[in-house]
Amino acid sequence: MARAIDPRRTRKALKALKALHDSAAAGNSGVFSSWEEDFIAGVSARLETHGSAFADYRKGAPDEALSRLQQKTLKELRQKQRKTRLSSPQQLPPDRQNLKRKS
């Protein structure tokens, strides 16, 4: 018997994973390790194929798309991405680099 997975939760998880993948592909490749990139790719593939990334009911709620541990790992990856994004200096577009603030 297939379990009923909330499609909104699947879409939400896929959107978060896609955002992480896109930020890593956009030039922040040093942000994630190879294991973390494999985690993002593997979980995304399982979500697209099955609608859920886990099969054991003891690991999470039946209507969730991600297990509790996967949710925790995803949260940690978001924090890592946010931390590195905020710590790196912001680059201005070339046409705005010579502009100065008013004093």
Domain that holds residue 11: 7-79
d(C-alpha 69, C-alpha 72), whole Å? 5
89, part of any domain? no
| Mean pLDDT of the 14-23 span | 90
- Please report whether residue 88 resides in a domain: no
Tell me the pLDDT of the chain averaged across its residues. 83
Whether 52 is covered by a domain: the verdict is: yes
Does the residue 91 lie in any domain? no
| Number of folded domains that form the chain | 1
- Kindly list the distances between the CA atom of residue 73 and the CA atoms of 36, 68, 88, 96, in Å, as whole numbers in the listed order: 9, 9, 23, 38
Tell me what percent of the residues of the chain surpass a pLDDT of 90: 38
Cα dihedral 23, 82, 14, 68 sign: positive
pLDDT in tens, 30-75: 678 889 999 999 999 999 998 889 888 889 888 899 999 999 999 9
Let me know if residue 28 belongs to a domain: yes
